[in-house]
Structure 1
Amino acid sequence: MTDPTPAVMLQGTGSDVGKSLLAAGLCRLFARRGLAVRPFKPQNMSNNAAVTTDGGEIGRAQALQARACGVAACSDMNPVLLKPQSETGAQVVVQGKVLANATARDYHALKPTLLPRVLESYRRLAAGADLMVVEGAGSAAEVNLRAADIANMGFAEAADLPVVLVADIDRGGVIASVVGTHALLPEAERARLAGYVINRFRGDPALFTPALEIIKAHTGLDCLGIVPWFADAALLPAEDAASLKGRASAGEGVKIAVPRLSRIANFDDFDPLAAESDVRLEMVAPGRPLPGDADLIILPGSKSTIADLAFLRAQGWDIDILAHWRRGGRVLGICAGYQMLGKSVSDPLGVEGPAGGVAPGLGLLDIETVMAGDKVLTEISGTDAGGLPVAGYEMHMGRTTGPDTARPFLSLDGQPDGAVSADGRVMGCYLHGLFASDPFRAGLLESLRAGRGAGIAYEAQVESVLDRLADHLSAHLDVERLWRVAIRQTSRFSS
């Protein structure tokens, strides 16, 4: 019998404790040591998704972790992805493909049937890996959901993995979160705990020493590291929309406004813009008007175009957008945002909501969209109308036609994509990721504010931040102990 692939699973004492970032950092750290590292998250819930090389979709966090490993993202890295479409329902994506739309209750009943496919994906990845870095979801101690769990201890038990708890000290109550999580777990699950990590620490770690002794006395667990706050995390793609609350980049110069739709999707499209030192990117919260002095308004992607058109109107943002346009301002739509700029969006088959739904668009582009056909999932590249290179991915189900498509915004793999209004001030396309192209982004910003210069090299910046994150974790985690946890035996690396 062969030994299992070395693996460690990070589970949180709550949601948003920094598991994804730590996983990405560990992926880069161990990959730099020459290991074939693969990320894995059994179940993710996010509308921030990435297209994989095998034509599927996974959570954006796992795509970043794959990048940290130096490998292409594949569907097995996140076999179950839930994409919320309403307050009670979500699209269920399994091994990269849409399986169903389900309410929370329906999905809870469906979960036991998904575990074999989750394990299938894990074993396929592990077969070609030297180390698996696995990330849980939410809290390890959601005991009310334990019976059908495939995201945390349910998966750890099925795959026989050691677990390291991650706790966020910045939110307060960190001692209670570790001790309380341990207390709620049954004995067999406590036995899987190999230790814990204190994340997002500010101040003098020596002052936390008494807390370590208290946690040890109540749980028997050792601390595997106290990780200080990593400010450069803001330069990496965020995992979910919770991170967008109140978000605005601090630059001065070009001002770009993005309305924060209720089902906003693939919002990491805007990270390259936010990273520019002389760009102020404002994610406008519901209840607030779009700024009247914006140079550009960008309508983002959404998981529910018709529902978010209604949401947009409820905030009065349609009035703000039309006023911006009448003042000579420019408007750009990405994916669902592109669809919203047209005359109408219809959903005859109930792809995103009730069958037969129809909504008037903003009417700034002479196009119409029908939700139909198979979901388009593809990585693609091309140029804009001026010949500047762009690259990214398409992820949509709508089909858009109309007179303005005769003026395409982009050419992707030799085919037209998107539309531009007759006056040239309104444009849209289906390509996510186009702002990551340094030449395209520089050209767009130059057109908004002449003479601004070349700007940053965004992709190089992401690589640099991942390297700094790995260095940060190397300095503050007991990496040697983590490796011993992963291999369940004596150390492979020298101290």
Structure 2
Amino acid sequence: MTALMIQGAGSNVGKSMLVAGLCRAARRRGLSVAPFKPQNMSNNAAVTADGGEIGRAQALQARACGLEPTVDMNPVLLKPETDTGAQVIVHGKRMASTQAKAYWDLKPRLLGAVLESFARLRAAHDLVIVEGAGSPAEINLRRGDIANMGFARAADVPVILVGDIDRGGVIAQIIGTQAVLDPADAAMISGFVINKFRGDLRLFDDGYEAIAARTRWPGFGVVPFFSDAVKLPAEDALDLPQRGTGRGLRVVCLALSRIANFDDLDPLAQEPGVDLTLLGPGAPIPGDADLVIVPGTKSTRGDLAFLRAQSWDIDLAAHVRRGGHVLGICGGYQMLGRRVCDPEGIEGAPGSDPGLGLLDVETVMVPDKRVSLVEAVHAGTKAAMRGYEIHIGRTEGADRRRPFAHVAGVPEGAGSPDGRIWGSYLHGMFGEDGFRKAWLSGFGVQAGPLSYGAVVEATLDALADHLETHLDVAGLLGCAR
């Protein structure tokens, strides 16, 4: 029946992690708690049981609450397709693809959908913990806002403002936010939290007191940097490992410009026998790579051009000639084929482009979007898998005769005749411990004793413990109304 909102004095201050930890802490207090984010912008989406899309962070927060994710937890999701355009998902379903200026005009009409979802969650739970987006200090975006103070005031939800000390300038972040806010917006703020501190907490005592004195907001604590956050599903590709350890199976994932659902990599990154590198633009694919993963993307043809601009197409061809393996997931699978066609201009300008030619398949983009949870059996190892599909496009061709997996007995994906190149639409496959172990054994790698689900649960508990140690959690939750 009550709610509290966590907003940031800037982007990437750790709002998602704080909400997840507070959700777990509230649940352990015996409260029925749910997460909510009015508007998210991310190409890392999760699939709900009814076939809707929400931000991956809200799915993790739902897990912290002991809930299955629902579309009400993130009623508006923006999935960037270009630098100025995005797909707009409302209540889990694609509403439109729009340019930034057009979305600016659309936003006020979406507030109703946001408030509907919030009302349903609030009626069903003791507490709703809301995550803002970006920062309320971006006052140029205040008109029609549904993500920060526009929502907070419409729903009458008190706000806790979070600053990131790891970036530097946190005193100015907090005080400066108060200075630029409309007084009525500033009045919604009930206190502040400092996040990501490294070192001796006592060294910030004077700074903490200065913020409290100048803003007259109470402080609820300083949170030391939580290093185990890397064990939780990442929402931002910048949170993924940028370089490997130099030990084990050498896996290289191409950091496409519109990379999507990159948390597919998280379970692999935690395997001690796997050396995972996220390869950035301009860097060549290493000659000693064992496996190259071409990941999902929100813009297959756009990222195919991006891939070629990095000369990765040439590197991939050389990798295959050396006997290397390639796995394409979703959009990456589409790129591996002979051609990608978009006659209706669903992802951009109508047209078609030659693919990488590593699989004998061809993809045609179609308006119908497949969004579903999936149970499958890997064709090669017979290991069971659970994951999800979230894509447009139909892929057909001779290499489909060698499926990657079977879904309800139906062949899924494709493989090359020599068994070294595979494509699949299945996301989340590596989170399944049995499949991951069987798949790695095919490379001669013995998987560690990792239970990925157990690691996520233990890390959420550790995060809640961390917040309980360093924050006045009772006082902070007491601000809810």
Q: If the length of structure 2 is used for normalisation, what is the TM-score?
A: 0.98
Question: What SS does the corresponding residue of 1:411 show, helix, strand or coil?
Answer: strand
Contact 1:249–1:275, Cα closer than 8 Å, also in 2: no
Contact 1:167–1:197, Cα closer than 8 Å, also in 2: yes
Q: Does 1:113 align with 2:109?
A: yes
Distance 1:433 1:36 in 2: 28
Q: Does 1:205 align with 2:171?
A: no
**Which of 283, 288, 294 is matched with 1:288 structurally?**
283
Deviation at residue 211 of structure 1 after TM alignment:
1.1
The answer for the alignment partner of 2:11 in structure 1 is 15
Contact 2:362–2:396, Cα closer than 8 Å, also in 1: yes
Distance 1:249 1:473, change over 3 A: farther
Question: What SS does the corresponding residue of 2:131 show, helix, strand or coil?
Answer: strand
Contact 2:372–2:389, Cα closer than 8 Å, also in 1: yes
Deviation at residue 125 of structure 1 after TM alignment:
1.3
**Which of 344, 348, 354 is matched with 2:339 structurally?**
344
Distance 1:352 1:186, change over 3 A: same
Contact 1:409–1:420, Cα closer than 8 Å, also in 2: yes
Which runs of 5 or more structure 2 residues have no equivalent in the other structure?
none
- 1:9-61 Cα offsets, whole Å, 9 max, x none, are 00000000000000001111111222111100001101000111121101100
Q: Does 1:370 align with 2:388?
A: no
Question: What SS does the corresponding residue of 1:137 show, helix, strand or coil?
Answer: coil
Deviation at residue 483 of structure 1 after TM alignment:
2.1
Distance 1:212 1:306 in 2: 49
Deviation at residue 111 of structure 1 after TM alignment:
0.2
Greater shift, 414-423 or 163-172, is seen at 414-423
The answer for the alignment partner of 1:361 in structure 2 is 355
Distance 1:262 1:387, change over 3 A: same
Distance 1:88 1:219 in 2: 36
The answer for the alignment partner of 2:273 in structure 1 is 278
Amino acid at match of 1:261: L
The answer for the alignment partner of 2:121 in structure 1 is 125
The answer for the alignment partner of 2:90 in structure 1 is 94
Deviation at residue 249 of structure 1 after TM alignment:
4.2
Amino acid at match of 1:313: R
Q: Does 1:458 align with 2:474?
A: no
The answer for the alignment partner of 1:78 in structure 2 is 74
Q: Does 1:312 align with 2:304?
A: no
- 1:437-475 Cα offsets, whole Å, 9 max, x none, are 11111122221135x244411111111111100111111
Q: Does 1:381 align with 2:409?
A: no
Q: Does 1:432 align with 2:427?
A: yes
**Which of 390, 396, 411 is matched with 2:391 structurally?**
396
Amino acid at match of 2:395: T
Q: Does 1:165 align with 2:161?
A: yes
Contact 1:442–1:455, Cα closer than 8 Å, also in 2: no
Distance 1:66 1:251 in 2: 35
**Which of 53, 57, 60 is matched with 2:56 structurally?**
60
Distance 1:182 1:189 in 2: 9
Question: What SS does the corresponding residue of 1:154 show, helix, strand or coil?
Answer: helix
Amino acid at match of 2:132: G
The answer for the alignment partner of 1:252 in structure 2 is 247
Distance 1:480 1:248 in 2: 40
Q: Does 1:34 align with 2:30?
A: yes
Question: What SS does the corresponding residue of 1:369 show, helix, strand or coil?
Answer: strand
Distance 1:351 1:34 in 2: 46
Distance 1:253 1:476, change over 3 A: same
Distance 2:347 2:255 in 1: 19
Distance 2:119 2:135 in 1: 24
Q: How many residues align?
A: 480
Distance 1:445 1:14, change over 3 A: same
The answer for the alignment partner of 1:491 in structure 2 is none
Distance 1:344 1:241 in 2: 27
Q: Does 1:483 align with 2:480?
A: no
Distance 2:207 2:227 in 1: 24
Question: What SS does the corresponding residue of 2:190 show, helix, strand or coil?
Answer: strand
Amino acid at match of 2:402: R
Distance 1:449 1:251 in 2: 17
Q: Does 1:196 align with 2:196?
A: no
- 1:256-315 Cα offsets, whole Å, 9 max, x none, are 001100100000000000011221100000000011111111110000000111110110
Question: What SS does the corresponding residue of 2:450 show, helix, strand or coil?
Answer: coil
Distance 1:172 1:417 in 2: 48
**Which of 456, 462, 466 is matched with 1:468 structurally?**
462
Amino acid at match of 2:248: G
The answer for the alignment partner of 1:492 in structure 2 is none
Q: Percent identity?
A: 59
Distance 1:176 1:338, change over 3 A: same
Distance 1:437 1:484 in 2: 39
Please report the RMSD computed on the Cα atoms of aligned residues, expressed in angstroms: 1.1
The answer for the alignment partner of 2:146 in structure 1 is 150
Distance 1:194 1:205 in 2: 23
Distance 1:128 1:95 in 2: 17
Q: If the length of structure 1 is used for normalisation, what is the TM-score?
A: 0.95
Distance 2:297 2:449 in 1: 28
Question: What SS does the corresponding residue of 2:374 show, helix, strand or coil?
Answer: strand
Contact 2:195–2:223, Cα closer than 8 Å, also in 1: yes
Distance 1:208 1:485 in 2: 24
Contact 1:251–1:279, Cα closer than 8 Å, also in 2: no
Contact 1:341–1:363, Cα closer than 8 Å, also in 2: yes
Distance 2:337 2:433 in 1: 28
- 1:149-207 Cα offsets, whole Å, 9 max, x none, are 00000000011000000100000000000000011112211211110000001112122
Distance 1:248 1:51 in 2: 29
The answer for the alignment partner of 1:408 in structure 2 is 403
Question: What SS does the corresponding residue of 2:479 show, helix, strand or coil?
Answer: helix
Distance 2:246 2:427 in 1: 23
**Which of 323, 327, 330 is matched with 1:328 structurally?**
323
Amino acid at match of 1:418: G
- 1:381-437 Cα offsets, whole Å, 9 max, x none, are 121012101111000011011111111110122221101111111111100000111
Contact 1:49–1:60, Cα closer than 8 Å, also in 2: yes
- 1:74-115 Cα offsets, whole Å, 9 max, x none, are 111111111011111111111101111111111111000000
